[in-house]
């Protein structure tokens, strides 16, 4: 049986394929419930070691990833793993960078790039994807490099 997040749990976004991803803020406590099996963390600096598989994307606050190809690779891995594991995406506040990454996952899941930000704002957080640069990153995500 596939391990997945409870759809009613805070921060859980269900993609059209049925994959579920939890977005969250790192500045808050770890939510109650099961631990992630994989996480991708969007920070300017790497996190300390975690008790689950993880990947770090160098992504300064209010900006876009420092390496677009690395971000694409990490988010593709996240999307694949979400089909069989509990995965989470997180940044300090859980909105800008996390929302941007979730919109990219929605694109990988079949949402049109021009609709991905609206999808994440409707189903995750109305203030997700905070800057014009982040919105532009989403619209260009389908063709990295």
Token couple for 131: 């800057």
pLDDT in tens, 36-52: 999 999 998 887 788 99
101: CATH: 3.90.190.10
Query: 3-state DSSP call for residue 133?
Result: helix
Rounded to an integer, what distance in angstroms lies between the CA atom of residue 85 and that of residue 141? 23
- Whole domain around residue 123: which residue ranges? 12-140
CB-CB neighbours of 88 under 10 Å: 25
Q: Is residue 121 part of a domain?
A: yes
Q: Is residue 5 part of a domain?
A: no
Going by pLDDT thresholds of 50, 70 and 90, the confidence category of residue 4 is confident
Q: Is residue 3 part of a domain?
A: no
Going by pLDDT thresholds of 50, 70 and 90, the confidence category of residue 95 is very high
Q: How confident is the prediction for the chain on average, in pLDDT?
A: 93
Q: Is residue 84 part of a domain?
A: yes
Rounded to an integer, what distance in angstroms lies between the CA atom of residue 21 and that of residue 30? 15
DSSP percent split of the chain into helix, strand, coil, nearest 5: 35, 20, 50
Question: How many domains, in total, are found in the chain?
Answer: 1
- The predicted model scores a pTM of 0.94
Q: Is residue 32 part of a domain?
A: yes
Q: Is residue 61 part of a domain?
A: yes
Rounded to an integer, what distance in angstroms lies between the CA atom of residue 90 and that of residue 23? 6
Q: Is residue 96 part of a domain?
A: yes
Rounded to an integer, what distance in angstroms lies between the CA atom of residue 87 and that of residue 46? 18
User: Of all residues in the chain, what percent carry a pLDDT higher than 90?
Assistant: 86
* Cα dihedral 111→13→19→4 (10° resolution): 180
Tokens 């969250």 belong to residue? 24
pLDDT of residue 44: 87
pLDDT of residue 45: 85
Query: 3-state DSSP call for residue 48?
Result: coil
For residues 69 and 2, the model is more confident at: 69
Q: Is residue 2 part of a domain?
A: no
Token couple for 133: 């640069």
Rounded to an integer, what distance in angstroms lies between the CA atom of residue 37 and that of residue 88? 8
């Amino acid at each position: 049986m596939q391990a997945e997040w409870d759809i009613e749990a805070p921060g859980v976004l269900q993609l059209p394929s049925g994959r579920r991803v939890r977005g969250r803020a790192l500045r808050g406590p770890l939510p109650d419930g099961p631990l992630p099996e994989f996480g991708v963390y969007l920070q300017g600096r790497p996190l300390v070691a975690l008790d689950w598989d993880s990947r770090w994307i160098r992504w300064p606050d209010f900006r876009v990833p420092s390496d677009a190809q690395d971000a694409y690779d990490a988010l593709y891995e996240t999307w694949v793993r979400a089909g069989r594991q509990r995965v989470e995406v997180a940044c300090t506040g859980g909105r800008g960078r996390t929302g941007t990454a979730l919109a990219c996952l929605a694109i990988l899941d079949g949402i049109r790039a021009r609709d991905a930000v609206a999808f994440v704002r409707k189903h995750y957080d109305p203030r997700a994807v905070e800057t014009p640069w982040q919105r532009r990153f989403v619209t260009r995500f389908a063709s990295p490099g």
